[in-house]
A and B are shown apart, each in its own frame.
Chain A
Amino acid sequence: MADLKYKVIVGLEIHVQLCTKSKMFCGCAVEFGAEPNSRVCPVCLGMPGVLPVMNKQAFEYAVMVGLALNCRIPMFTKWDRKSYYYPDLPKNYQISQYDLPLSENGYIEIPLESSQTKRIGIIRAHLEEDAGKNLHATGNFSQVDLNRTGTPLLEIVTEPDMNSGAEVRALAVELQRMVRFLGVSEADMQKGHMRFEPNINLIITRGDGEFRTPITEIKNLNSFRALERSVNYEAQRQLDEFIETGIVMEMGNKTTRGWDDEKEVTVLQREKEEAHDYRYFPDPDLVPVELTQQWLDEIKSRLCELPLKKQMRYVQEYCLSDYDAGVLTADRSTADFFDEAVKAGGEPKRLCNLITQTGLKITKEKNCSINDLSVTPQSLADLAKMVEDSIISAGSAATIFEAMVETGKEPDVLAQELNLIQKSDAGELEKIVDTVLMENPQAVEDVTSGGKKEKKAMGFLLGQVMQKTKGQANPKVVSEILAKKLG
Protein backbone atom coordinates (compact mmCIF):
# COMPACT_ATOMS: atom_id res chain seq x y z
CA MET A 1 0.00 0.00 0.00
CA ALA A 2 3.00 2.27 0.18
CA ASP A 3 2.40 3.72 -3.27
CA LEU A 4 -1.24 4.60 -2.63
CA LYS A 5 -2.12 8.26 -3.19
CA TYR A 6 -5.49 9.93 -2.97
CA LYS A 7 -7.23 13.19 -3.64
CA VAL A 8 -10.40 14.36 -1.89
CA ILE A 9 -13.12 15.69 -4.20
CA VAL A 10 -15.88 17.80 -2.65
CA GLY A 11 -18.82 19.68 -4.12
CA LEU A 12 -21.16 21.63 -1.90
CA GLU A 13 -24.84 22.45 -1.81
CA ILE A 14 -25.65 25.43 0.34
CA HIS A 15 -29.02 26.76 1.43
CA VAL A 16 -29.05 30.42 2.41
CA GLN A 17 -32.09 32.02 3.98
CA LEU A 18 -32.79 35.45 2.47
CA CYS A 19 -33.67 38.23 4.91
CA THR A 20 -37.01 39.34 3.51
CA LYS A 21 -39.63 40.56 5.97
CA SER A 22 -42.34 38.32 4.54
CA LYS A 23 -42.35 34.81 3.10
CA MET A 24 -41.74 33.94 -0.52
CA PHE A 25 -45.32 33.50 -1.71
CA CYS A 26 -47.49 34.98 1.06
CA GLY A 27 -47.43 37.90 3.49
CA CYS A 28 -46.69 35.90 6.64
CA ALA A 29 -43.79 37.31 8.64
CA VAL A 30 -40.43 35.56 8.58
CA GLU A 31 -39.67 35.50 12.25
CA PHE A 32 -37.38 33.28 14.28
CA GLY A 33 -38.66 32.08 17.63
CA ALA A 34 -42.33 33.05 17.24
CA GLU A 35 -45.02 30.87 18.83
CA PRO A 36 -45.29 27.65 16.78
CA ASN A 37 -47.76 27.83 13.89
CA SER A 38 -48.53 31.49 14.53
CA ARG A 39 -46.91 32.81 11.30
CA VAL A 40 -48.99 30.83 8.84
CA CYS A 41 -51.88 31.44 6.43
CA PRO A 42 -53.85 29.37 3.92
CA VAL A 43 -51.11 29.84 1.28
CA CYS A 44 -48.19 28.50 3.32
CA LEU A 45 -50.41 25.89 4.97
CA GLY A 46 -51.06 24.50 1.50
CA MET A 47 -54.84 24.82 1.63
CA PRO A 48 -56.66 23.98 -1.60
CA GLY A 49 -57.61 26.85 -3.89
CA VAL A 50 -55.03 29.38 -2.72
CA LEU A 51 -52.73 31.26 -5.07
CA PRO A 52 -49.07 32.01 -4.30
CA VAL A 53 -47.68 35.40 -5.40
CA MET A 54 -43.93 35.89 -5.69
CA ASN A 55 -42.09 38.26 -3.32
CA LYS A 56 -40.19 40.68 -5.58
CA GLN A 57 -37.54 41.41 -2.96
CA ALA A 58 -36.67 37.71 -2.63
CA PHE A 59 -36.21 37.45 -6.37
CA GLU A 60 -33.99 40.53 -6.52
CA TYR A 61 -31.89 39.37 -3.55
CA ALA A 62 -31.36 36.05 -5.31
CA VAL A 63 -30.26 37.79 -8.51
CA MET A 64 -27.81 39.92 -6.48
CA VAL A 65 -26.14 36.79 -5.14
CA GLY A 66 -26.11 35.28 -8.63
CA LEU A 67 -24.31 38.37 -9.89
CA ALA A 68 -21.87 38.37 -6.97
CA LEU A 69 -21.11 34.73 -7.80
CA ASN A 70 -20.24 35.77 -11.34
CA CYS A 71 -23.12 33.75 -12.73
CA ARG A 72 -24.87 34.11 -16.03
CA ILE A 73 -28.34 35.52 -15.31
CA PRO A 74 -30.84 34.26 -17.87
CA MET A 75 -33.54 36.76 -18.86
CA PHE A 76 -36.22 34.11 -18.45
CA THR A 77 -36.75 31.92 -15.38
CA LYS A 78 -39.65 29.89 -14.04
CA TRP A 79 -40.97 27.92 -11.07
CA ASP A 80 -41.35 24.17 -10.75
CA ARG A 81 -42.95 21.81 -8.31
CA LYS A 82 -40.76 19.21 -6.66
CA SER A 83 -42.88 16.36 -5.30
CA TYR A 84 -42.10 15.59 -1.71
CA TYR A 85 -44.21 13.91 0.91
CA TYR A 86 -43.26 15.10 4.31
CA PRO A 87 -45.30 16.58 7.15
CA ASP A 88 -43.18 19.74 7.17
CA LEU A 89 -44.22 20.46 3.58
CA PRO A 90 -48.01 20.57 3.71
CA LYS A 91 -48.57 21.07 -0.03
CA ASN A 92 -46.76 17.76 -0.73
CA TYR A 93 -44.51 19.65 -3.10
CA GLN A 94 -41.90 22.31 -2.78
CA ILE A 95 -41.87 25.28 -5.12
CA SER A 96 -38.37 25.32 -6.57
CA GLN A 97 -36.58 25.79 -9.89
CA TYR A 98 -35.59 22.87 -12.07
CA ASP A 99 -34.44 23.38 -15.64
CA LEU A 100 -34.41 27.19 -15.85
CA PRO A 101 -32.74 28.47 -12.66
CA LEU A 102 -32.26 32.20 -12.18
CA SER A 103 -28.46 31.96 -12.33
CA GLU A 104 -25.85 29.47 -13.51
CA ASN A 105 -22.20 28.96 -14.52
CA GLY A 106 -20.41 31.24 -12.10
CA TYR A 107 -17.54 31.06 -9.65
CA ILE A 108 -16.41 32.28 -6.26
CA GLU A 109 -12.86 33.08 -5.16
CA ILE A 110 -12.04 31.70 -1.73
CA PRO A 111 -9.11 32.76 0.45
CA LEU A 112 -6.56 30.08 1.25
CA GLU A 113 -3.56 30.38 3.52
CA SER A 114 -0.79 32.88 2.80
CA SER A 115 -2.96 35.30 0.80
CA GLN A 116 -3.61 32.78 -1.97
CA THR A 117 -7.06 32.39 -3.46
CA LYS A 118 -8.73 29.56 -5.31
CA ARG A 119 -11.56 29.73 -7.81
CA ILE A 120 -14.47 27.36 -7.18
CA GLY A 121 -17.04 26.88 -9.93
CA ILE A 122 -20.72 27.55 -9.23
CA ILE A 123 -23.06 25.31 -11.20
CA ARG A 124 -26.22 27.19 -10.34
CA ALA A 125 -28.10 29.19 -7.74
CA HIS A 126 -31.87 29.04 -7.61
CA LEU A 127 -34.72 30.10 -5.36
CA GLU A 128 -36.98 27.77 -3.48
CA GLU A 129 -39.20 27.78 -0.44
CA ASP A 130 -38.14 26.34 2.90
CA ALA A 131 -40.05 23.59 4.71
CA GLY A 132 -41.33 23.74 8.28
CA LYS A 133 -39.67 22.16 11.27
CA ASN A 134 -40.17 18.68 12.66
CA LEU A 135 -39.55 18.30 16.33
CA HIS A 136 -39.10 14.85 17.67
CA ALA A 137 -41.09 14.70 20.84
CA THR A 138 -40.85 11.69 23.10
CA GLY A 139 -43.38 8.99 22.43
CA ASN A 140 -44.60 7.75 19.13
CA PHE A 141 -45.25 11.05 17.40
CA SER A 142 -43.54 14.14 16.03
CA GLN A 143 -44.45 17.80 16.38
CA VAL A 144 -44.64 20.04 13.34
CA ASP A 145 -44.19 23.82 13.32
CA LEU A 146 -44.96 25.44 9.97
CA ASN A 147 -43.74 28.97 10.76
CA ARG A 148 -40.67 28.46 8.56
CA THR A 149 -42.66 27.00 5.67
CA GLY A 150 -42.41 29.25 2.63
CA THR A 151 -39.34 31.21 3.79
CA PRO A 152 -37.21 32.17 0.77
CA LEU A 153 -34.10 30.02 0.40
CA LEU A 154 -31.34 30.35 -2.11
CA GLU A 155 -29.83 27.01 -3.08
CA ILE A 156 -26.28 27.30 -4.35
CA VAL A 157 -24.55 24.31 -5.95
CA THR A 158 -20.80 24.33 -6.49
CA GLU A 159 -18.66 22.29 -8.84
CA PRO A 160 -16.70 19.52 -7.09
CA ASP A 161 -13.67 21.80 -7.02
CA MET A 162 -12.71 21.61 -3.36
CA ASN A 163 -10.04 19.21 -2.12
CA SER A 164 -10.11 19.41 1.68
CA GLY A 165 -12.27 20.14 4.68
CA ALA A 166 -10.39 23.42 5.10
CA GLU A 167 -11.28 24.54 1.57
CA VAL A 168 -14.92 23.64 2.10
CA ARG A 169 -14.93 25.67 5.28
CA ALA A 170 -13.22 28.61 3.55
CA LEU A 171 -15.93 28.65 0.90
CA ALA A 172 -18.69 28.54 3.49
CA VAL A 173 -17.14 31.38 5.50
CA GLU A 174 -16.54 33.47 2.37
CA LEU A 175 -20.12 32.95 1.24
CA GLN A 176 -21.41 34.01 4.65
CA ARG A 177 -19.34 37.19 4.50
CA MET A 178 -20.51 37.84 0.93
CA VAL A 179 -24.26 37.54 1.56
CA ARG A 180 -23.91 39.68 4.67
CA PHE A 181 -22.06 42.35 2.69
CA LEU A 182 -24.80 42.28 0.09
CA GLY A 183 -27.36 42.65 2.87
CA VAL A 184 -29.45 39.78 1.52
CA SER A 185 -29.10 37.39 4.46
CA GLU A 186 -28.25 37.61 8.14
CA ALA A 187 -26.50 34.27 7.60
CA ASP A 188 -26.83 33.50 11.30
CA MET A 189 -25.73 29.91 11.77
CA GLN A 190 -27.46 29.61 15.13
CA LYS A 191 -30.77 30.38 13.46
CA GLY A 192 -30.19 27.91 10.65
CA HIS A 193 -29.80 30.63 8.01
CA MET A 194 -27.08 28.61 6.30
CA ARG A 195 -27.18 24.84 5.83
CA PHE A 196 -24.61 22.73 4.03
CA GLU A 197 -24.62 19.41 2.20
CA PRO A 198 -21.22 18.31 0.94
CA ASN A 199 -20.80 15.55 -1.66
CA ILE A 200 -17.54 13.73 -1.16
CA ASN A 201 -15.47 11.04 -2.78
CA LEU A 202 -11.83 10.19 -3.39
CA ILE A 203 -9.70 9.61 -6.43
CA ILE A 204 -7.21 6.95 -5.41
CA THR A 205 -4.13 6.11 -7.42
CA ARG A 206 -2.34 2.88 -6.77
CA GLY A 207 0.06 0.69 -8.68
CA ASP A 208 -2.83 -1.11 -10.38
CA GLY A 209 -4.68 2.00 -11.58
CA GLU A 210 -6.92 4.90 -10.62
CA PHE A 211 -10.10 4.38 -8.61
CA ARG A 212 -13.02 6.56 -7.54
CA THR A 213 -14.81 5.76 -4.32
CA PRO A 214 -18.63 5.91 -4.14
CA ILE A 215 -19.97 9.43 -3.49
CA THR A 216 -21.55 10.19 -0.15
CA GLU A 217 -23.69 13.18 0.64
CA ILE A 218 -23.73 14.47 4.21
CA LYS A 219 -27.08 16.04 5.05
CA ASN A 220 -28.02 19.16 6.94
CA LEU A 221 -24.83 20.52 8.47
CA ASN A 222 -25.33 23.86 10.14
CA SER A 223 -21.96 24.92 11.50
CA PHE A 224 -18.58 25.57 9.90
CA ARG A 225 -17.00 23.25 12.40
CA ALA A 226 -19.31 20.34 11.63
CA LEU A 227 -18.86 21.00 7.91
CA GLU A 228 -15.07 20.85 8.04
CA ARG A 229 -14.88 17.92 10.43
CA SER A 230 -17.47 15.82 8.66
CA VAL A 231 -15.65 16.23 5.34
CA ASN A 232 -12.33 15.23 6.89
CA TYR A 233 -13.92 12.30 8.70
CA GLU A 234 -15.70 11.10 5.58
CA ALA A 235 -12.53 11.27 3.46
CA GLN A 236 -10.69 9.06 5.94
CA ARG A 237 -13.66 6.69 6.23
CA GLN A 238 -13.83 6.27 2.45
CA LEU A 239 -10.10 5.61 2.26
CA ASP A 240 -10.36 2.94 4.94
CA GLU A 241 -13.38 1.41 3.24
CA PHE A 242 -11.64 1.31 -0.13
CA ILE A 243 -8.56 -0.35 1.28
CA GLU A 244 -10.73 -2.92 3.00
CA THR A 245 -13.35 -3.62 0.32
CA GLY A 246 -12.14 -2.10 -2.94
CA ILE A 247 -15.65 -0.85 -3.68
CA VAL A 248 -15.66 1.87 -6.36
CA MET A 249 -18.18 4.38 -7.62
CA GLU A 250 -20.86 3.13 -9.95
CA MET A 251 -24.38 4.10 -10.93
CA GLY A 252 -26.71 4.00 -7.98
CA ASN A 253 -24.22 3.48 -5.16
CA LYS A 254 -24.26 7.02 -3.89
CA THR A 255 -25.28 7.09 -0.23
CA THR A 256 -26.53 9.64 2.23
CA ARG A 257 -25.01 10.09 5.66
CA GLY A 258 -25.77 12.20 8.69
CA TRP A 259 -23.26 13.84 11.05
CA ASP A 260 -23.23 12.88 14.71
CA ASP A 261 -21.95 16.03 16.36
CA GLU A 262 -21.13 14.39 19.65
CA LYS A 263 -19.35 11.29 18.42
CA GLU A 264 -17.93 13.22 15.44
CA VAL A 265 -18.71 10.47 12.96
CA THR A 266 -20.89 10.22 9.86
CA VAL A 267 -23.74 7.73 10.03
CA LEU A 268 -25.39 5.98 7.10
CA GLN A 269 -28.99 7.12 6.59
CA ARG A 270 -31.33 4.52 5.24
CA GLU A 271 -33.59 6.02 2.64
CA LYS A 272 -36.51 4.43 0.91
CA GLU A 273 -35.92 3.52 -2.68
CA GLU A 274 -37.76 5.90 -4.99
CA ALA A 275 -37.44 8.61 -2.32
CA HIS A 276 -35.79 10.87 -4.86
CA ASP A 277 -38.33 10.55 -7.61
CA TYR A 278 -39.19 14.23 -7.41
CA ARG A 279 -41.22 14.35 -10.63
CA TYR A 280 -40.61 18.03 -11.29
CA PHE A 281 -43.08 19.89 -13.45
CA PRO A 282 -43.75 23.60 -14.08
CA ASP A 283 -45.90 25.20 -11.39
CA PRO A 284 -49.13 26.26 -13.06
CA ASP A 285 -49.92 28.70 -10.21
CA LEU A 286 -46.87 30.87 -10.82
CA VAL A 287 -46.05 32.74 -14.00
CA PRO A 288 -42.44 33.02 -15.20
CA VAL A 289 -40.13 35.94 -14.49
CA GLU A 290 -38.70 37.88 -17.40
CA LEU A 291 -35.86 40.25 -16.67
CA THR A 292 -35.26 43.35 -18.75
CA GLN A 293 -31.80 44.80 -19.22
CA GLN A 294 -32.89 47.91 -17.34
CA TRP A 295 -34.14 45.92 -14.36
CA LEU A 296 -31.00 43.78 -14.32
CA ASP A 297 -28.82 46.92 -14.45
CA GLU A 298 -30.78 48.38 -11.56
CA ILE A 299 -30.19 45.24 -9.47
CA LYS A 300 -26.52 45.28 -10.47
CA SER A 301 -26.20 48.86 -9.20
CA ARG A 302 -27.06 47.61 -5.69
CA LEU A 303 -23.95 45.43 -5.50
CA CYS A 304 -21.00 46.65 -3.47
CA GLU A 305 -17.30 45.90 -3.48
CA LEU A 306 -17.19 42.30 -2.29
CA PRO A 307 -15.31 41.42 0.90
CA LEU A 308 -12.46 39.35 -0.52
CA LYS A 309 -11.72 42.00 -3.15
CA LYS A 310 -11.79 44.67 -0.46
CA GLN A 311 -9.50 42.63 1.77
CA MET A 312 -6.98 42.22 -1.03
CA ARG A 313 -7.19 45.94 -1.86
CA TYR A 314 -6.42 46.85 1.76
CA VAL A 315 -3.33 44.67 1.66
CA GLN A 316 -2.11 46.04 -1.67
CA GLU A 317 -3.06 49.72 -1.38
CA TYR A 318 -2.66 50.32 2.33
CA CYS A 319 -0.01 47.70 3.15
CA LEU A 320 -2.18 46.25 5.90
CA SER A 321 -1.47 42.69 6.96
CA ASP A 322 -3.75 40.02 5.50
CA TYR A 323 -4.96 39.34 9.02
CA ASP A 324 -5.88 42.98 9.76
CA ALA A 325 -7.54 43.35 6.35
CA GLY A 326 -9.54 40.22 7.13
CA VAL A 327 -10.68 41.63 10.48
CA LEU A 328 -11.76 44.92 8.87
CA THR A 329 -13.72 43.10 6.15
CA ALA A 330 -15.33 40.54 8.42
CA ASP A 331 -18.49 42.61 8.28
CA ARG A 332 -19.73 45.35 6.04
CA SER A 333 -20.33 48.06 8.64
CA THR A 334 -16.72 47.90 9.88
CA ALA A 335 -15.32 47.92 6.34
CA ASP A 336 -17.56 50.81 5.30
CA PHE A 337 -16.58 52.76 8.41
CA PHE A 338 -12.91 52.21 7.67
CA ASP A 339 -13.36 53.26 4.02
CA GLU A 340 -15.15 56.44 5.08
CA ALA A 341 -12.47 57.28 7.64
CA VAL A 342 -9.73 56.80 5.04
CA LYS A 343 -11.66 59.07 2.70
CA ALA A 344 -11.86 61.65 5.49
CA GLY A 345 -8.08 61.81 5.52
CA GLY A 346 -7.03 59.29 8.18
CA GLU A 347 -3.85 57.31 7.66
CA PRO A 348 -5.00 53.74 6.86
CA LYS A 349 -2.58 51.83 9.09
CA ARG A 350 -3.28 54.14 12.04
CA LEU A 351 -7.06 53.86 11.48
CA CYS A 352 -6.77 50.10 11.18
CA ASN A 353 -5.03 49.92 14.56
CA LEU A 354 -7.60 52.17 16.21
CA ILE A 355 -10.52 50.20 14.79
CA THR A 356 -9.19 46.68 15.27
CA GLN A 357 -7.53 47.22 18.65
CA THR A 358 -9.91 49.65 20.33
CA GLY A 359 -13.10 49.98 18.27
CA LEU A 360 -13.83 46.28 17.86
CA LYS A 361 -13.00 45.62 21.50
CA ILE A 362 -15.71 48.10 22.47
CA THR A 363 -18.26 46.82 19.95
CA LYS A 364 -17.67 43.31 21.22
CA GLU A 365 -18.27 44.41 24.82
CA LYS A 366 -21.36 46.36 23.85
CA ASN A 367 -22.46 43.73 21.32
CA CYS A 368 -23.16 46.36 18.69
CA SER A 369 -21.89 47.60 15.33
CA ILE A 370 -19.20 50.25 14.93
CA ASN A 371 -21.91 52.57 13.57
CA ASP A 372 -23.66 52.46 16.93
CA LEU A 373 -20.70 53.99 18.78
CA SER A 374 -21.62 57.67 18.20
CA VAL A 375 -18.21 58.20 16.64
CA THR A 376 -18.21 59.31 13.02
CA PRO A 377 -15.57 58.19 10.51
CA GLN A 378 -14.59 61.87 10.25
CA SER A 379 -13.92 62.13 14.02
CA LEU A 380 -11.86 58.96 13.96
CA ALA A 381 -9.89 60.28 11.00
CA ASP A 382 -9.28 63.51 12.99
CA LEU A 383 -8.05 61.44 15.91
CA ALA A 384 -5.69 59.50 13.65
CA LYS A 385 -4.37 62.77 12.24
CA MET A 386 -3.61 64.04 15.75
CA VAL A 387 -1.30 61.06 16.23
CA GLU A 388 0.31 61.57 12.82
CA ASP A 389 0.93 65.22 13.71
CA SER A 390 2.43 64.21 17.07
CA ILE A 391 -0.22 66.19 18.92
CA ILE A 392 -1.04 63.11 20.97
CA SER A 393 0.73 59.81 21.48
CA ALA A 394 -0.50 56.57 19.96
CA GLY A 395 -1.32 55.34 23.45
CA SER A 396 -3.40 58.41 24.22
CA ALA A 397 -5.34 57.90 20.99
CA ALA A 398 -6.85 54.70 22.34
CA THR A 399 -7.84 56.48 25.57
CA ILE A 400 -9.41 59.32 23.60
CA PHE A 401 -11.25 56.87 21.31
CA GLU A 402 -12.79 55.23 24.36
CA ALA A 403 -13.77 58.63 25.74
CA MET A 404 -15.30 59.59 22.38
CA VAL A 405 -17.54 56.54 22.63
CA GLU A 406 -18.55 57.43 26.17
CA THR A 407 -19.12 61.16 25.68
CA GLY A 408 -19.72 61.70 21.98
CA LYS A 409 -17.24 64.58 22.10
CA GLU A 410 -14.70 65.42 19.40
CA PRO A 411 -11.09 64.16 19.80
CA ASP A 412 -9.45 67.61 20.06
CA VAL A 413 -11.84 68.61 22.86
CA LEU A 414 -11.16 65.38 24.74
CA ALA A 415 -7.40 65.68 24.28
CA GLN A 416 -7.59 69.04 26.06
CA GLU A 417 -9.99 67.88 28.76
CA LEU A 418 -7.98 64.77 29.52
CA ASN A 419 -4.74 66.71 29.37
CA LEU A 420 -3.29 64.38 26.77
CA ILE A 421 -1.82 66.91 24.38
CA GLN A 422 1.86 66.27 23.97
CA LYS A 423 4.03 69.15 25.03
CA SER A 424 5.90 70.28 21.95
CA ASP A 425 6.53 73.83 23.11
CA ALA A 426 10.32 73.94 23.05
CA GLY A 427 10.58 76.78 25.60
CA GLU A 428 8.57 75.01 28.25
CA LEU A 429 10.24 71.67 27.59
CA GLU A 430 13.68 73.24 27.72
CA LYS A 431 13.10 74.28 31.36
CA ILE A 432 12.12 70.76 32.30
CA VAL A 433 15.13 69.36 30.46
CA ASP A 434 17.41 71.76 32.37
CA THR A 435 15.98 70.57 35.68
CA VAL A 436 16.50 66.94 34.71
CA LEU A 437 20.10 67.62 33.65
CA MET A 438 20.77 69.35 36.99
CA GLU A 439 19.36 66.46 38.95
CA ASN A 440 21.29 63.77 37.06
CA PRO A 441 24.93 64.82 36.76
CA GLN A 442 26.16 61.22 36.41
CA ALA A 443 23.99 60.55 33.36
CA VAL A 444 25.04 63.85 31.84
CA GLU A 445 28.65 62.86 32.42
CA ASP A 446 28.08 59.49 30.73
CA VAL A 447 26.60 61.16 27.69
CA THR A 448 29.16 63.91 27.29
CA SER A 449 32.14 61.61 27.78
CA GLY A 450 30.77 59.34 25.05
CA GLY A 451 31.55 55.63 24.97
CA LYS A 452 29.51 52.60 25.88
CA LYS A 453 27.17 54.22 28.35
CA GLU A 454 26.14 57.13 26.17
CA LYS A 455 23.11 55.61 24.52
CA LYS A 456 21.74 54.17 27.73
CA ALA A 457 22.23 57.43 29.63
CA MET A 458 20.50 59.39 26.88
CA GLY A 459 17.53 57.04 27.12
CA PHE A 460 17.49 57.48 30.86
CA LEU A 461 17.39 61.28 30.59
CA LEU A 462 14.62 61.14 28.02
CA GLY A 463 12.68 58.85 30.35
CA GLN A 464 13.12 61.32 33.21
CA VAL A 465 11.68 64.14 31.09
CA MET A 466 8.72 61.99 30.04
CA GLN A 467 8.12 61.11 33.68
CA LYS A 468 8.18 64.76 34.77
CA THR A 469 5.65 65.63 32.04
CA LYS A 470 3.49 62.59 32.84
CA GLY A 471 4.12 61.25 29.37
CA GLN A 472 2.79 64.33 27.64
CA ALA A 473 6.04 65.55 26.18
CA ASN A 474 6.58 64.92 22.52
CA PRO A 475 9.53 62.50 22.65
CA LYS A 476 10.86 63.70 19.31
CA VAL A 477 11.09 67.29 20.51
CA VAL A 478 12.67 66.27 23.84
CA SER A 479 15.32 64.21 22.02
CA GLU A 480 16.17 67.19 19.89
CA ILE A 481 16.58 69.46 22.92
CA LEU A 482 18.71 66.89 24.75
CA ALA A 483 20.93 66.42 21.71
CA LYS A 484 21.34 70.15 21.36
CA LYS A 485 22.21 70.71 25.04
CA LEU A 486 24.59 67.78 25.38
CA GLY A 487 25.99 67.66 21.87
Chain B
Amino acid sequence: MARRIDQQQVRKVAKLSRLDLTDHELEEFTSQLGAILEYVEKMNKLNTDNVEPLAHCLPVSNVFREDCVKESIGTERALANAPERDESFFKVPKILDDGSGA
Protein backbone atom coordinates (compact mmCIF):
# COMPACT_ATOMS: atom_id res chain seq x y z
CA MET B 1 0.00 0.00 0.00
CA ALA B 2 1.23 3.47 -0.85
CA ARG B 3 2.46 5.50 2.06
CA ARG B 4 -0.12 7.93 3.38
CA ILE B 5 2.41 10.58 4.29
CA ASP B 6 6.10 11.07 3.58
CA GLN B 7 8.87 12.84 5.47
CA GLN B 8 8.63 15.83 3.17
CA GLN B 9 5.03 16.44 4.18
CA VAL B 10 5.74 15.93 7.87
CA ARG B 11 8.58 18.41 7.63
CA LYS B 12 6.23 20.95 6.05
CA VAL B 13 3.52 20.47 8.68
CA ALA B 14 6.11 20.73 11.44
CA LYS B 15 7.41 23.95 9.97
CA LEU B 16 3.92 25.39 9.75
CA SER B 17 3.45 24.52 13.42
CA ARG B 18 6.81 26.04 14.34
CA LEU B 19 8.14 22.67 15.47
CA ASP B 20 11.82 21.90 15.12
CA LEU B 21 12.11 18.12 14.65
CA THR B 22 15.27 16.02 14.75
CA ASP B 23 15.86 13.48 11.97
CA HIS B 24 14.95 10.72 14.38
CA GLU B 25 11.68 12.42 15.35
CA LEU B 26 10.89 13.06 11.73
CA GLU B 27 11.16 9.38 10.95
CA GLU B 28 9.21 8.37 14.03
CA PHE B 29 6.34 10.80 13.47
CA THR B 30 6.13 9.98 9.79
CA SER B 31 5.45 6.34 10.54
CA GLN B 32 3.08 7.17 13.43
CA LEU B 33 1.09 9.66 11.38
CA GLY B 34 1.07 7.17 8.51
CA ALA B 35 -0.48 4.55 10.76
CA ILE B 36 -3.16 6.96 11.92
CA LEU B 37 -4.04 7.97 8.38
CA GLU B 38 -4.19 4.34 7.34
CA TYR B 39 -6.61 3.67 10.16
CA VAL B 40 -8.77 6.62 9.26
CA GLU B 41 -8.68 5.50 5.65
CA LYS B 42 -11.00 2.63 6.61
CA MET B 43 -13.76 5.21 6.91
CA ASN B 44 -13.62 5.79 3.17
CA LYS B 45 -15.03 2.31 2.63
CA LEU B 46 -18.33 3.37 4.20
CA ASN B 47 -21.11 4.64 1.99
CA THR B 48 -21.86 8.17 3.23
CA ASP B 49 -24.08 9.29 0.36
CA ASN B 50 -27.01 9.98 2.65
CA VAL B 51 -25.09 11.26 5.65
CA GLU B 52 -25.13 15.00 6.44
CA PRO B 53 -21.68 16.51 7.00
CA LEU B 54 -21.03 16.98 10.70
CA ALA B 55 -19.98 20.43 11.94
CA HIS B 56 -19.60 19.42 15.54
CA CYS B 57 -19.50 16.12 17.40
CA LEU B 58 -22.02 17.22 20.07
CA PRO B 59 -25.72 17.40 19.22
CA VAL B 60 -25.85 20.85 20.79
CA SER B 61 -26.19 24.36 19.34
CA ASN B 62 -26.72 27.96 20.47
CA VAL B 63 -24.62 28.19 23.59
CA PHE B 64 -24.38 31.91 24.31
CA ARG B 65 -23.49 34.38 26.99
CA GLU B 66 -25.10 37.77 27.45
CA ASP B 67 -22.97 40.80 26.61
CA CYS B 68 -21.87 41.51 30.19
CA VAL B 69 -18.46 42.70 31.28
CA LYS B 70 -16.66 40.59 33.85
CA GLU B 71 -13.60 41.62 35.70
CA SER B 72 -10.32 40.88 33.91
CA ILE B 73 -7.34 39.47 35.75
CA GLY B 74 -5.26 42.65 35.59
CA THR B 75 -1.93 43.47 34.01
CA GLU B 76 0.26 42.00 36.73
CA ARG B 77 -1.34 38.58 36.66
CA ALA B 78 -1.56 38.63 32.87
CA LEU B 79 2.18 39.16 32.65
CA ALA B 80 3.12 36.84 35.51
CA ASN B 81 4.04 33.94 33.21
CA ALA B 82 5.58 36.02 30.45
CA PRO B 83 9.20 35.07 29.72
CA GLU B 84 9.94 38.77 29.31
CA ARG B 85 8.04 41.99 29.81
CA ASP B 86 8.57 45.64 29.02
CA GLU B 87 6.59 47.74 31.46
CA SER B 88 2.95 46.70 30.86
CA PHE B 89 3.71 44.90 27.61
CA PHE B 90 4.73 41.41 26.67
CA LYS B 91 8.21 41.65 25.21
CA VAL B 92 8.85 39.46 22.17
CA PRO B 93 11.57 39.19 19.54
CA LYS B 94 11.20 41.89 16.91
CA ILE B 95 8.37 41.18 14.51
CA LEU B 96 9.59 41.76 11.00
CA ASP B 97 6.63 41.79 8.68
CA ASP B 98 3.73 43.92 9.69
CA GLY B 99 0.92 41.91 8.24
CA SER B 100 -0.97 40.78 11.28
CA GLY B 101 -3.60 38.24 10.40
CA ALA B 102 -6.77 39.67 11.81
**Contact between B102 and A287, CB atoms less than 8 A apart:** no
Known: A35-B75, A83-B16, A94-B102. A287 touches B58 (CB 8 A): yes
Q: Is A246 an interface residue (CB 8 A)?
A: no
Q: Which of B82-99 contact A (CB under 8 A)?
A: 84, 86-95, 97-99
A35 to B74, CA, bound (A): 9
A91 to B84, CA, bound (A): 18
- Chain A interface: which size bin? 35 or more
Partner of A15, one of B16, B57, B86, B102: B102
Q: Is A135 an interface residue (CB 8 A)?
A: yes
Known: A36-B75, A288-B56. A153 touches B102 (CB 8 A): yes
Partner of A37, one of B61, B64, B88, B98: B88
**Contact between B57 and A87, CB atoms less than 8 A apart:** no
**Contact between A134 and B72, CB atoms less than 8 A apart:** no
Which residue of A has the minimal Cβ distance to B84?
Answer: A141
A36 to B86, CA, bound (A): 11
State the Cβ distance, B102 to closest chain A Cβ, in Å: 4
**Contact between A143 and B69, CB atoms less than 8 A apart:** no
Residues of A within 8 A of B73 (CB): 40-42
Q: Is B3 an interface residue (CB 8 A)?
A: no
Q: Is A45 an interface residue (CB 8 A)?
A: yes
The number of chain B residues with a CB under 8 A from chain A is 44
Q: Is B12 an interface residue (CB 8 A)?
A: yes
A269 to B90, CA, bound (A): 25
A42 to B15, CA, bound (A): 27
Q: Is A70 an interface residue (CB 8 A)?
A: no
Majority secondary structure, B binding face: loop
Q: Is A85 an interface residue (CB 8 A)?
A: yes
Known: A36-B75, A134-B95. A78 touches B56 (CB 8 A): yes
**0 or 1 for each of A22-46: is its CB under 8 Å from B? (1 = yes):** 1000111100000111111110010
**Contact between B55 and A135, CB atoms less than 8 A apart:** no
State the Cβ distance, A52 to closest chain B Cβ, in Å: 10
Residues of B within 8 A of A87 (CB): 90, 92, 95
Q: Is A290 an interface residue (CB 8 A)?
A: yes
A82 to B16, CA, bound (A): 12
Q: Is B24 an interface residue (CB 8 A)?
A: no
**Contact between A135 and B89, CB atoms less than 8 A apart:** yes
**Contact between A38 and B102, CB atoms less than 8 A apart:** no
**Contact between A284 and B56, CB atoms less than 8 A apart:** yes
Partner of B55, one of A36, A256, A288: A288
A443 to B100, CA, bound (A): 80
Partner of A40, one of B63, B78, B93, B102: B78
**Contact between B65 and A55, CB atoms less than 8 A apart:** yes
**Contact between B12 and A274, CB atoms less than 8 A apart:** yes
Residues of A within 8 A of B69 (CB): 21-22, 27-29
Q: Is B68 an interface residue (CB 8 A)?
A: yes
**Contact between A287 and B61, CB atoms less than 8 A apart:** yes
